[in-house]
Structure 1
Amino acid sequence: MAKKPIGPVRRAFAPWDDPAQPAFIEFRNVTKRFGDFVAVDDLSLTIYEREFHALLGGSGCGKTTLMRMLAGFENPTSGQIFLEGQDLAGIPPYRRPVNMMFQSYALFPHMSVEKNIAFGLLQDKMPKADVDKRVKEMLQLVKLEPFAKRKPHQLSGGQKQRVALARSLAKRPKVLLLDEPLGALDKKLREETQLELMTLQEDLRMTFLIVTHDQEEAMTMADRISVMDHGRILQNDTPATIYEMPNSRFVAEFIGDINILEGQISKKEGDQIQLFSSVLGDHLDIVQSIDVNVGDKAALAIRPEKMRISFDKPEGPGINAIPGEVWDIAYMGDVSIYHIKIAEAVTVRSIVANTTRLVERPITWDDKIWLSWNRDAGVILTR
């Protein structure tokens, strides 16, 4: 039986929950060394057909090296890479049924849009009539028919990105690899293009693998995210699960904003847990199924939007409430970020949606307030 997903899901598509589903792409104990530097460290990962998978991490974490090994531009030092059950060892890049779209787009400046798209097809000696038909299909797919005769310097950044995408898709690869494909676009265009890529991937029923350091990009587009650090995958799951149930401090802090309160497990009865915070001098209640023992050092991680602020202390079962003082406020338009001092040199953040224009008694700087959250709002982290 498939596990119940945490939070919203983009589509009813979860082959990773079905043991009978075969792997489409499989990295099996893959290691890649450059001299003494280990770029990818004994990494194993399974990606399924039609999945939109994201490799997410900071610079130097190994995500691009992993993608380049799948494309054939690098060879593993050890381990194996399979595509549809076939070991890719020894198969050159041009013989692999994958195509790669680079961040720089790498368009030929002297060629028109249609000739850029046709280039790979002509290299494969496809008949000209078939090339013309395929190019027309690609232009329609990325909505660039009116720009077919233009050169790259006559296009906007977003249009160049679409040309590069059309050229990558023209050969109808089994896997499309996207290496930071939206990095050169401005924020609004990047958001629009993310939605277009998602729609395109579903319509084509293709497998997409994207490399990005942009957590928002990965959270928006991917069915699953592999969070990487130092050549290893720290957590591989759906965006909602990674956000709501991070398995380590690194993942919790890398994905979104987080408050972390250090402490020690003081009580455990089933999934009812108490954490004693020495900073607060108080016990905090948590509901979580986790293997911990009384006396273990741990931390409570809470997302800022799950923390409420009020002048009066909230009452009722299942609520944690601590006093604090408003230290700073960042007004962002749609939300305000409150920095709350809860102890000497210790502050946490609370995000409040600005749902109305006017508030009769707004909470402002230096106000004494109560900060509260539900027992199931936070996550205990032990590593």
Structure 2
Amino acid sequence: MKSLGSIRRSFAPWNDPAARPYISFEGITKRFGDFTAVDNLTLDIYEREFFALLGASGCGKTTLLRMLAGFEQPTSGRILLDGQDISGIPPYRRPVNMMFQSYALFPHMTVEANIAFGLKQDGMPKPEIEARVAEMLKLVKLEKFAKRKPHQLSGGQRQRVALARSVAKRPKVLLLDEPLGALDKKLREETQFELMDLQQELGLTFVVVTHDQEEAMTMADRIAIMDKGEVMQVATPAEIYEAPASRFVADFVGSVNLFEGVVRERDAKGTTIADNGGMTIRTDIAGEEASPGQPVWFAIRPEKIKVSSRKPANGFNAAEGEIWDIAYLGDMTVYHVKLDDGRIVKTSAVNAARVVEDALTWSDRAWISFPTDAGVVLTR
């Protein structure tokens, strides 16, 4: 099978049947009174993986992270770390460290004292502490700020101090709970790549909780999409985006158009769908789970749809409408096209040239069209 999208590195132990998971959640359920935060969840994470738990507030991702850290205990099920059941082991005895969104730095201590704190608690000899702190300061590029206190640092610098303190004890697993939430957009984007480089250099397993889709897509080797305490799909960022397993995943990650219809025919070459609005959709995706007469949804991303004033030559994967809204974003333009049946379709086009040949503006008549390999057929 051809790879979906580019990959950051040659690392995919989840595709190796002989590979043993480093972290395993086995049938984990967590209840708070009558509320079920995590519901019979099973999930595997591999050593040296940068893994993201992505979902809306209240989906159970932070509860799952806290159970791995030892701050919460499962109602049922077990958690294995490197083959050992860690249920009941207190947080301070687990080879796991957690970096909180608030950073939780000691305001009266200097940067180097904050980093050294956990090492002193463990009774490490003073010369070794000094060497480790110097190593961590160099790692996060804060050597010049060693004597400063947290209030004398920027948000990004405080984030680096918290990160250095978290990895100073060299845990097997680093847990990050919304680690970049307090940073501004530009700094957050820069720090995402720094975290990726740091994880590679340290060779640690990172598990990050976030509700920021772009953050998860940028940093993670794999993403688990969560909803109401359950995992909806686990896959690489490219697979999540290009081949979502359900309407929920397709709609949650990025922007998507969903066309509802009925399978007219299916064969080895693809699937033909009679869209409820009268459009005929032909796709190369065989839609193996879909049979003729079955209701389905065709999911397609805005950038896969072309909008033009010219009618396409073929009689399928096309519909006519009117330019309803336009958003010029500099590098791209987003069009909302209102089809003649009343539906709004989102499309986007990269502004590769300074002058657009087929300029479209509000209220213009326009056609949308897309190739047969542009979308995916969903049955749920």
TM-score range, shorter chain: over 0.9
Structure 1 distance, partners of 2:89, 2:74, is 13
| 1:324 has 2:293 as partner | no
Question: How far has the Cα of 1:313 moved from its partner?
Answer: 1.9
Q: TM-score, normalised by structure 1?
A: 0.97
**Which ranges in structure 2 are unaligned for 5 or more consecutive residues?**
none
Question: How far has the Cα of 1:382 moved from its partner?
Answer: 1.2
Query: Structure 2 matches for 1:90-101, cutoff 5 A?
Result: 90-101=88-99
Higher deviation after alignment, 20-29 or 361-370: 361-370
Q: 2:330 aligns with which of 330, 333, 337?
A: 333
Query: Structure 2 matches for 1:276-291, cutoff 5 A?
Result: 276-279=274-277, 281-289=278-286, 290-291=288-289
Q: Name the SS for the 1:73 alignment partner.
A: coil
Question: How far has the Cα of 1:347 moved from its partner?
Answer: 0.5
Structure 2 distance, partners of 1:156, 1:307, is 42
Structure 2 distance, partners of 1:269, 1:88, is 49
Question: Counterpart in 2 of 1:275?
Answer: 273
CA RMSD across the alignment: 1.2
Question: Counterpart in 1 of 2:157?
Answer: 159
Question: How far has the Cα of 1:205 moved from its partner?
Answer: 1.0
Specify the code of the residue in structure 2 equivalent to 1:44: T
Higher deviation after alignment, 261-270 or 62-71: 261-270
Question: Counterpart in 2 of 1:52?
Answer: 50
Question: How far has the Cα of 1:150 moved from its partner?
Answer: 0.3
Query: Structure 2 matches for 1:28-107, cutoff 5 A?
Result: 28-107=26-105
Question: Counterpart in 2 of 1:220?
Answer: 218
Question: Counterpart in 2 of 1:112?
Answer: 110
Structure 2 distance, partners of 1:101, 1:118, is 15
Structure 2 distance, partners of 1:155, 1:300, is 49
Structure 2 distance, partners of 1:105, 1:361, is 51
Specify the code of the residue in structure 2 equivalent to 1:338: Y
Specify the code of the residue in structure 1 equivalent to 2:176: L
| 1:348 has 2:345 as partner | yes
Specify the code of the residue in structure 1 equivalent to 2:125: P
Question: Counterpart in 2 of 1:378?
Answer: 375
Deviations 1:343-382 (A, max 9, x none): 3431101101111222255111111111110111011111
Higher deviation after alignment, 18-27 or 339-348: 339-348
The number of aligned residues is 379
Structure 2 distance, partners of 1:263, 1:305, is 22
Q: 1:292 aligns with which of 281, 290, 294?
A: 290
Question: Counterpart in 2 of 1:135?
Answer: 133
Instruction: Please tell me whether the aligned partners of residues 320 and 340 of structure 2 are also in contact (alpha carbons under 8 angstroms).
Output: no
Query: Structure 2 matches for 1:242-257, cutoff 5 A?
Result: 242-257=240-255
Question: How far has the Cα of 1:6 moved from its partner?
Answer: 1.3
Higher deviation after alignment, 260-269 or 141-150: 260-269
Question: How far has the Cα of 1:236 moved from its partner?
Answer: 0.1
What percentage of aligned pairs have identical amino acids? 62
Question: How far has the Cα of 1:271 moved from its partner?
Answer: 4.5
Q: Name the SS for the 2:317 alignment partner.
A: strand
Going from structure 1 to structure 2, the CA distance change for 1:88 and 1:361 (only over 3 Å counts) comes to: closer
| 1:263 has 2:261 as partner | yes
Question: Counterpart in 1 of 2:123?
Answer: 125
Question: How far has the Cα of 1:316 moved from its partner?
Answer: 5.6
Structure 1 distance, partners of 2:92, 2:373, is 51
Q: 1:25 aligns with which of 23, 26, 51?
A: 23
Deviations 1:39-88 (A, max 9, x none): 00000000000000000000000000000000000000000000000000
Question: How far has the Cα of 1:324 moved from its partner?
Answer: 1.6
Query: Structure 2 matches for 1:347-366, cutoff 5 A?
Result: 347-366=344-363
Q: TM-score, normalised by structure 2?
A: 0.98
Q: 1:189 aligns with which of 187, 203, 213?
A: 187
**Which ranges in structure 1 are unaligned for 5 or more consecutive residues?**
none
Specify the code of the residue in structure 2 equivalent to 1:283: T
Question: How far has the Cα of 1:4 moved from its partner?
Answer: 4.5
